Amino acid sequence: MAIKDLESIPAPSVIPPRILYLDAYDSFSNNIIAQVEICLNAKVSKLYIDDPRFQPGAKPALLGTSHSFHEYLKQFDAVIAGPGPGTAIDDKDVGLMKELWKLQDADLLPVFGICLGFQSMAVAFGADIETLKEPKHGLVSEILHKGRSIFIGVNQLLATQYHSLQVNIEHPIQIKRAVRYPGELWCSTGKCPDIEPLAWDFDNRTNGAVLMAFKHAQKPFWGVQFHPESICTNDEGKHMIQNWWKCAQTWITKHAIKSTPISATVPLSVLEYQCALSCKHISEVTQPLVASVRGTQSDTIFRKTVSTLDPERLAKLIRNGDSHSLPNLPPDVVHCATTGSGRLAVADVCNVFNIPRSEAIILESGLQADLLPLKVGTGRYSIIGLVIPRETLRLHYYTDTKLLQLRDGNNSVYTETLVDNVWSYIKTVMKHLKPKREPSGPTFAPFWGGLMGYVSYEAGLEQINVLPAAYRENESAVPDICFAYITRTIVFDHQVKKIYVQSIRCPDDKPWVSGAVERIYEAVGYKSAVPTPSPMPRPNPFDSMLKDPVIDTYLDPNKTLIAVADRAGYSCKVSKCQNIISKGHSYELCLTTTNEIRAPKSSSADSPSSTNELSWKLYSRLVKQNPAPFSAYIRLHNLHILSSSPERYISWDRNGSAQCRPIKGTVRKLPGVTQSDALAILSSPKERAENLMIVDLVRHQLHGVYGAGNVRVTQLMNIEEYETLWQLVSVIDAVPPGVQKARTPDEWEEPADYVSGRKASPETSSLGFEAFVQSLPPGSMTGAPKKRSCEILKDLEGEKRRGVYSGVLGYLDVGGGGDFSVVIRTAVKIDSGDNEKEDVWRIGAGGAVTAQSIPEAEYEEMCGKFSSTARAFNR
């Protein structure tokens, strides 16, 4: 019986199908898995296309399986070969997919190919792979389908596409751009007799007809070129998936194949992969005892023997100290007192606590003239984390040596250990820092205390198994992760004009809280006594407040040097990105570059406190000139970070619900560009495609942690206005299974009561942390598919470290929540012995490059982002 007839037999209902998903390192895989799990009530297992257990010469027994790939497939009812970077004719890009097309007779099982999987299937049955004249990434078009097989009953199908390559079966519609009669569209060709076309895309004249779906004439293989799982593919995509499963079931019933349960082969961790590839045992990889490590003050590299330390012991050292150099700081209780903020601004409180001259970490929300948040849902809180001289502990991690250090309050390395997974240490530390008792006063602050700091882009690369670029010789070593354990905090709730003064420092720190409230209270009184017109006018960026003789001398235009990436060089890299995209290796690449502002060291900055003060003044100028919901000031160790980021990476609450707010799509406010011009540009398919790709990527990441049915797009591509730019912003939420609270973007920062974290089970409340770790580095700074894109960018950007820029910055709260921004629109200075005479402020900037980008316009966009920060350095 022909397969066509079989498809009309109604499918019997079965127990949840077991489906294998072959992952070609795409950034949308988990969306497909989630869609299939929901639409088919299936159980989907994931296997990477290069799983070392199934490589020629692998020693499967060592890796927990004794099966060949074909035997292994017997435990599944069907397989999905997913999308991915690269080309179907390169064995490395498709890996195990190739094995599927060789299945014969009793080994056969239904397969569904998507994009790369579809192309790989086509190649196996005679087709060629060609480049599209105009690549399609994140673009939606209406597909013409046959209304049969997987399209039976499917109505108007609007499908998102992510491809640069296409399948050529030498069909008349592809060669002559015409068919003799309509039915010919669905006929197979002499070149590929087994390929029966099921759908075409005629949307793009330049590209002509593009094959969008086919089925194999005899075998149970179906495939589609488009992405049914994208948020912008309409519901007919789901309908089609259900149809596929009906076709597959019919085939299964007819051939009476029964999947055989064999011992499950679970996905390997990154470390297991590394071991497998190098044929080493895990213990050999995890416990080297000699490493290159950094010293204390000078941070020079030397070799020494390092002891190993387990995460539990590290956590206890931070919490309980020792009897010598580490203080006893058990966060048993959150001491909290509340006071009104009145007209007090964050900077006023900073002055009260001498922050301009000390080390500190501040996460600040830009405000409107009336001191209310700039944006509902992102800018409600500001957090001042106080660094206590000679006491505050820090965690440093370096990707090149894989060394994790605990530094004491004097910046001496107290202990250090080689770690294979730094995040398991940090997770254990956070688990041990959870307060045992309820806060002593009512506090609705999202942060009580905990780790504050940043994670570099390179630390993010480790998460996706991309080797970070090496430090250059003259580059002073900067930790890739730097977190201070902050025990005293002052949190503003700008919405209700309240201040929380909190300490988790030890059970006896209550007097500090009362004293601090007293000082703030006095400042509130003082500020109210000063007559100020109400509402307060927004300070003019160039008003007298900003005129400061020290800054004036420092920023003398005759002495400062602004080194911006050159136009020709940057545009050429954009073109290179596009060339790589056209070959199918990436859908979108976030290209970046480093720009510098060099200024002679200030003669008045002759002490640490005056150097700090200079950074603080520059930061104050930045936040006044470029108010942003995620401004930040970090003055720690040898680092000065001045940030005016508009972008939230991820925020999660104590119950484990998370929110991501990726930005993609930028229009610079230039003379003559009106708001309606900006709206028109940001509504164009090009800008929307850029944003859509990142939305789908973020959904994939959250699906990977929260599972099917728990991820929602709550805002798709809203236009937000900033001081110098317009941006396209989306919001994606994830809610743990069983947690009811689904919030709108506006409700996201509504205060939660302090007990809420206790209601969540430990498994669900840690999902936010998992999502934070698993989503590094931030997708809006990489492009998609993430892993391949990062490898390409590393090469294109000249193997230069991005460092803190492109990483994330924020806090891990002892109560279980967290909030991090993407480090963009940020100036970073590192004090090192290398340059005695000059300060070098680095301001990274870049933008997403797609097939539709115009190189010159990308350069302008990069400059626009750079100057939004660099303005603070203009005298």
Ligand X SMILES: NC(=O)CC[C@H](N)C(=O)O
Residues 119-138 that bind ligand X (CB under 6 A): 119
Task: Kindly write out the interface string for residues 381-420 of this chain, putting x where it contacts ligand X by CB under 6 A and - elsewhere.
Answer: ----------------------------------------
Q: Is 584 in the site for ligand X (CB under 6 A)?
A: yes
**484-to-166, 361, 648, 666, 813 alpha-carbon distances in Å:** 51, 9, 21, 33, 12
- Smallest gap from Cβ 584 to ligand X, in A, equals 3
For ligand X, which residue of 17, 60, 86, 220 counts as binding (CB under 6 A)?
86
227 secondary structure, DSSP code? B
- Closer to ligand ISJ by Cβ: residue 268 or 693: 693
Which amino acid, one-letter code, is at 715? Q
Task: Kindly write out the interface string for residues 525-564 of this chain, putting x where it contacts ligand X by CB under 6 A and - elsewhere.
Answer: ----------------------------------------
- Closer to ligand ISJ by Cβ: residue 220 or 460: 460
Pick the piece of the chain touching ligand X (CB under 6 A) from 78-86, 395-403, 497-505, 595-603. 78-86
466 secondary structure, DSSP code? -
Number of residues that bind ligand X (CB under 6 A): 12
In sign, the C-alpha dihedral spanning 542, 545, 546, 552 is positive
3-state secondary structure of 21: strand
For ligand X, which residue of 32, 116, 388, 697 counts as binding (CB under 6 A)?
116
Burial category of 368 from C-beta neighbours within 10 Å (exposed 0-12, middle 13-18, buried 19 and up): middle
Residue 848 interacts with, from ligand ISJ, ligand X, none (CB under 5-8 Å by kind) = ligand ISJ
- Smallest gap from Cβ 252 to ligand ISJ, in A, equals 45
- Smallest gap from Cβ 569 to ligand ISJ, in A, equals 17
Q: Is 83 in the site for ligand X (CB under 6 A)?
A: yes
Q: Is 85 in the site for ligand X (CB under 6 A)?
A: yes
233 secondary structure, DSSP code? S
Residue 846 interacts with, from ligand X, ligand ISJ, none (CB under 5-8 Å by kind) = ligand ISJ
CA distance 562 to 75: 62
- Smallest gap from Cβ 848 to ligand ISJ, in A, equals 4
- Closer to ligand ISJ by Cβ: residue 174 or 780: 780
On whether the CB atoms of residues 480 and 458 are closer than 8 A, the answer is yes
On whether the CB atoms of residues 446 and 748 are closer than 8 A, the answer is no
Q: Is 115 in the site for ligand X (CB under 6 A)?
A: yes
Instruction: Report which secondary-structure segment, H or E, holds 516.
Output: helix 510-529
Q: Is 807 in the site for ligand X (CB under 6 A)?
A: no
Q: Which residues contact 751 (CB under 8 A, 6 or more apart)?
A: 444, 445, 446, 493
- Closer to ligand ISJ by Cβ: residue 78 or 792: 792
Binding residues (CB under 6 A) for ligand ISJ: these are 590, 592, 647, 663-666, 780-781, 822, 824-825, 844-848, 865
- Smallest gap from Cβ 158 to ligand X, in A, equals 17
- Smallest gap from Cβ 666 to ligand ISJ, in A, equals 4
- Closer to ligand ISJ by Cβ: residue 114 or 663: 663
Strands (E), 225-353: 290-294, 301-305, 335-340
- Closer to ligand X by Cβ: residue 160 or 401: 160
Q: Is 492 in the site for ligand X (CB under 6 A)?
A: no
| Token pair for 196 | 């029966």
Instruction: Report which secondary-structure segment, H or E, holds 640.
Output: strand 639-645
Strands (E), 432-522: 450-455, 481-486, 488-493, 498-503
- Smallest gap from Cβ 136 to ligand X, in A, equals 9
CA distance 194 to 200: 17
On whether the CB atoms of residues 140 and 156 are closer than 8 A, the answer is no
Residue 619 interacts with, from ligand X, ligand ISJ, none (CB under 5-8 Å by kind) = none
Residue 162 interacts with, from ligand X, ligand ISJ, none (CB under 5-8 Å by kind) = ligand X
DSSP 380-443: SEEEEEEPPTTT--EEEEETTTTEEEEE-TTS-EEEEEE-S-HHHHHHHHHHHTS-SS--SS--
Residue 84 interacts with, from ligand ISJ, ligand X, none (CB under 5-8 Å by kind) = ligand X
Residue 571 interacts with, from ligand ISJ, ligand X, none (CB under 5-8 Å by kind) = none
On whether the CB atoms of residues 505 and 466 are closer than 8 A, the answer is no
| Token pair for 262 | 């064999």
Pick the piece of the chain touching ligand X (CB under 6 A) from 81-89, 426-434, 438-446, 861-869. 81-89
For ligand X, which residue of 60, 84, 223, 778 counts as binding (CB under 6 A)?
84
Q: Is 164 in the site for ligand X (CB under 6 A)?
A: yes
Alpha helices in 714-782 (DSSP H): 756-759, 762-765, 767-774
Residue 688 interacts with, from ligand X, ligand ISJ, none (CB under 5-8 Å by kind) = none
For ligand X, which residue of 21, 101, 125, 162 counts as binding (CB under 6 A)?
162
Q: Is 165 in the site for ligand X (CB under 6 A)?
A: yes
Residue 451, number of CB atoms within 10 A of its CB = 25
Residue 86 interacts with, from ligand ISJ, ligand X, none (CB under 5-8 Å by kind) = ligand X
- Closer to ligand X by Cβ: residue 162 or 414: 162
- Smallest gap from Cβ 153 to ligand ISJ, in A, equals 40
Residue 311 interacts with, from ligand X, ligand ISJ, none (CB under 5-8 Å by kind) = none
The pair phi, psi for residue 526, each rounded to 5°, is -65, -45
The pair phi, psi for residue 627, each rounded to 5°, is -60, 135
Residue 115 interacts with, from ligand X, ligand ISJ, none (CB under 5-8 Å by kind) = ligand X
Nearest to 460 by CA among 804, 788, 812: 804
CA distance 358 to 616: 9
- Closer to ligand ISJ by Cβ: residue 116 or 590: 590
Which amino acid, one-letter code, is at 38? I
Pick the piece of the chain touching ligand X (CB under 6 A) from 5-13, 115-123, 569-577, 658-666. 115-123
Label the pairing between strands 290-294 and 221-224: unpaired
- Smallest gap from Cβ 39 to ligand X, in A, equals 20
Residue 165 interacts with, from ligand ISJ, ligand X, none (CB under 5-8 Å by kind) = ligand X
Residue 802, number of CB atoms within 10 A of its CB = 26
- Smallest gap from Cβ 159 to ligand ISJ, in A, equals 24
On whether the CB atoms of residues 196 and 215 are closer than 8 A, the answer is yes
- Residues near ligand X, by CB under 6 A: 83-86, 115-116, 119, 162-165, 584
